[in-house]
Structure 1
Amino acid sequence: MLVLLAFIIVFHITSAALLFIATIDNAWWVGEEFFTDIWRVCHNNTNCTEIDDSFTGYATVQAVQATMILSTILCCIALFVFVLQLFRLKQGERFVLTSIIQLLSCLCVMIAASVYTNQREEIHNNNMFYQGTSNGNYGYSFILAWIAFAFTLISGIMYLILRKRK
């Protein structure tokens, strides 16, 4: 049981790390001469412009920013609640609260990645900050966001199924 518990904790910490990297790092949409994320646009690896309210798709980008931050916070809270419940719950009780919080984190990262996927063309084609960025590919931070979605979903389900045993 101790090995299973260690695996679950490592899996949850990995999910949180993936969420942090996907939220912070600058590689949601990349090309030869540029890279962008949900915070800024960089051309030639040096000329970076912060995304602000003068940006055409700012409301969409803010939605992605907010849901990614919320997802990361919820994932960290779920880990904290899991550790608390580990020592507070009686034998045989389920980690339902931890599961609910982790599944909410999963929902938030799914919303963020889905909104970015759906609105990416509008964001990159209709904005002066993104001139020349329509020809690119999804970067590793975007891919990590989807992997974090799968990890948080799996861990949320694991917490729901998990019972505290001797």
Structure 2
Amino acid sequence: MLVLLAFIIIFHITSAALLFVATIDNAWWVGDNFSVDVWRVCRNNSNCTEINESFSDYATLQAVQASMILSTILCCIAFFIFLLQLFRLKQGERFVLTSIIQLMSCLCVMIGASIYTDRRQDFHNNNAEYSSYMMEEGRYGYSFILAWVAFAFTFISGLMYLVLRKRK
């Protein structure tokens, strides 16, 4: 049982780390001379411009930002609740709340990454100052991929907590 708990703790911490990197790092859409995330656009990896209200789909991008931040916060809260429930609740009641919060984190990261996937082309096409060099030569970056990996990890973690609640 201790090995299983250690594995779940490591898996959960890995999920949180993936969410932090995917949310913060500037690599959702990359090319040879630029990188874009949900916060800023960087040319030549040094000349960075914050994405603000002048961005045509700013409200949609804010939804991506909010859902990624919320998923990270929920994942951290689920970990702390897991630690509290580990010693406080009797068997059969353990980890249900942790599982629910972790699955909500999973849902939030899925929403954020899905919105970005669906609207990415509109983000770049509707903003003349960005679209001239981003559309033709770009590709999804590692932060975008990490967001989808974090989705899978948080989903599996949420399911593991449901299974673990019945273990002795």
In 2, the alpha carbon distance for the partners of 1:50 and 1:29 equals 15
**Tell me, what secondary structure is at the counterpart of 1:42?**
strand
Q: 1:25 is matched with which residue?
A: 25
User: Which runs of 5 or more residues in structure 1 are unaligned?
Assistant: none
Look up the match of 2:130: 130
Q: Does 1:150 align with 2:152?
A: yes
Q: Can you list the C-alpha shifts for 1:58-113, whole angstroms capped at 9, x where unaligned?
A: 01110000000000000000000000000111134331100000000000000000
Higher helix proportion (structure 1 or 2)? 2
Distance (whole Å) between structure 2 residues aligned to residue 81 and residue 21 of structure 1: 22
Aligned match of 1:3: 3
Q: Secondary structure at the match of 1:86?
A: helix
Superposition RMSD on alpha carbons, in Å? Answer: 1.1
Count of residue pairs the alignment pairs up: 166
Query: TM-score with structure 1 length normalisation?
Result: 0.97
**CA distance in 2 between partners of 1:67 and 1:146 (Å):** 13
- Pick closer, same or farther for the CA change 1:147–1:114 going to 2, 3 Å: same
Q: Flag as ranges the 4+ runs of structure 1 deviating above 2 A.
A: 91-94, 163-166
Distance 1:129 1:159, change over 3 A: farther
Q: Which runs of 5+ in 2 are unaligned?
A: none
